[in-house]
Amino acid sequence: MTGPAPVVVHGRDGDCPVLVRAGALDSLGAVLAPLVRGRAAALATDSNVGPLHAARAAAALEAAGFRVSVREVPAGEATKNVRALAELWDFFHGAGIARSDLVVALGGGVVGDLAGFAAATWMRGVAVAQVPTSLLAMVDSSIGGKTAVDLPCGKNLAGAFHQPVAVVADPLLLRTLPAREFAQGLAEAVKYGCIRDADFFAWFEGRAGAPFADGDVERIVRTSAAHKAAVVDADEREGGLRATLNFGHTVGHAVEKVLGYGTISHGEAVAIGMVAAAKLGEALGRTEPGTAERLAALLAKLSLPTRLAQVAEGVDPAALADAARSDKKRDGDAVRFVFLDRIGACTVAPLSAASLAARLPAAL
């Protein structure tokens, strides 16, 4: 394969190259074959992605000598549960996946999280390759080794850190992505502009409202992937810097939980959560005035919601505050909250449960 060199996450269990290249799907087997000893591959995908891309992915793996078994799970967040996890373990057994073999997660964030956690826990850990097919997965969830399933009591509460042997992102696959799905991925890309890269944020402002060309999409994926990889490289297990990637997620996860997982997309919830976090920061004197308005204006141009009322009515603010307080990133009676200092810089600081409950309704 030709093109720019991959960025690399240097994990404690080995390096993970993140390849962002047009046409990379057809070279999948050639990329992965040198990274594992075994030649059995369990390809996990979903009912939306499978009919579009699974045959090409399997053919590329088989051309490199892999014996491929394919499993489709139902598309959607509701699939990311313990039952589906157990079904993937059964699939691995039937596919003969041993410690030296490979799991390939072909799909968006749900497939990546589910198959990644299944790989992390099968035989105490087998290799997994992430092959993201959604913008959200390409820019965020496929990179960094965080895997999980949802529980009735909260999102992503059962999981493991399990670095993939590689992330292979082919931006051309995004041509088949529905507009709403593409937009939710933009929310996570804008996040990097908010917390790390003011120039990237400004680049979005200059292009928002017009269609993105293939070159623009590749830039979005490559820039976002580089930011995610750099953060994970510095803090693989979320001891400090990696917590900044949760900007907008404390409130966003609460919105997802209270509305019911799958009611709105993760990216839409994060968009609402980012604006709410910026408003909270301004109200507490932590965030530069006008930041929330600027962020909301950009997200609106990208066809993303910025207020809870745009997606649901009659939501109990107390229920949202309770859900936010149950976030796994809490510290005692406080939540580790990501505040923007300004566009391009952020701070993680404790936010008390009382302050969160008092100010969240107005921020939403």
Catalytic residue positions?
124, 146, 188, 228, 238, 242, 246, 249, 253, 266
Q: Which residues pair with residue 130 across a beta bridge?
A: 105, 167
Task: Take residue 200 and report the two structure tokens written for it.
Answer: 């990237």
Distance separating alpha carbons of residues 253 and 276, to the nearest angstrom: 12
Considering only CA atoms, which of 254, 267, 289, 273 is closest in space to residue 338? 273
Helix axis angle, 291-301 to 266-283, nearest 10°: 160
Q: Which residues pair with residue 68 across a beta bridge?
A: 41
- Does residue 60 contact residue 28 with C-beta atoms inside 8 Å? yes
Distance separating alpha carbons of residues 252 and 271, to the nearest angstrom: 7
CA angle 115, 117, 122 (to 5 degrees): 90
C-beta atoms surrounding 269 within 10 Å:
28
Considering only CA atoms, which of 241, 232, 233, 268 is closest in space to residue 347? 241
Helix axis angle, 317-325 to 353-363, nearest 10°: 130
Distance separating alpha carbons of residues 119 and 100, to the nearest angstrom: 12
